Amino acid sequence: MTDADDGPPTEILDGTYRALSEHGYADLTLNDIAAESDRSKSLIHYYFDSKDELIDTFLRYLYDRYTDHVNETAAGETNWKQLTSLLERLFDEDESEQQFRTVLLEVKAQAPYNEPIRERLVEFDAALFERLEAIITAGIESGEFDTSVDPDRAAECLTATIHGAHARQVAIHQSTDRVYETVVEYVGIHLAADGNQQVTH
């Protein structure tokens, strides 16, 4: 995303990201965001009437990054490869991924009390679910995945497992490695059409 003439500088949104990941939502202040974005509080006020409005714009900005990440594909990849690459990215433990998950957990905890935030988060969740479902559906059509697989249920269960693994990593520093291995094994055993099971190994 680049700065448009009529939009807020991305520095403010990037500063919000860093402030959220360092202080959490409960202790987030406009001062933190101003400091992290190297912009004045008055400039932030110029673009945003309220913290809610800033967070809403921030979440739309973050959503673009998230969907780029979730939908990333290399040309000519099989559905198997797309699914395993996606899982690999989603279970990646590098620092920037953990920072992203921390920010998302902070925002998630506001959702029960903040309807606009909840609406944005529904979109994040749907982006992941729909991507998983699309790969699985395409894989069934191409013969890579077993026809007995229900794409909806498989995608939903994977979505929940991924969310839970992320929350545990961020909140209690539990590595996602073991869950990743188990999920890859599950995908290999359950989704693979007969004779295709070696693909994940």
What residues line the site for a second copy (CB under 8 A)?
A: 23-27, 102, 105-106, 108-113, 118, 121-122, 125, 152-154, 156-157, 159-168, 170-174, 176, 178-179, 181-183, 186, 189-190
Q: Which residue has the tokens 């998302």?
A: 104
Q: How far is the CB of 152 from a second copy (least distance, A)?
A: 7
H or E element that contains 130: helix 115-141
The nearer residue to a second copy, 30 or 111, going by C-beta atoms, is 111
Give per-residue burial for 157-187: e unless 16+ CB within 10 Å, then b: ebbebbbebbbebbeeeeebeebbeebbeeb
Q: How far is the CB of 33 from a second copy (least distance, A)?
A: 15
Q: How far is the CB of 142 from a second copy (least distance, A)?
A: 23
The nearer residue to a second copy, 27 or 92, going by C-beta atoms, is 27
Q: Which residues pair with 145 in a beta bridge?
A: 192
The nearer residue to a second copy, 27 or 141, going by C-beta atoms, is 27
What's the rounded Cα separation, in Å, for the pair 107 and 39?
23
What's the rounded Cα separation, in Å, for the pair 167 and 101?
7
Q: How far is the CB of 77 from a second copy (least distance, A)?
A: 26
The nearer residue to a second copy, 97 or 125, going by C-beta atoms, is 125
Q: Which residue has the tokens 């295709």?
A: 196
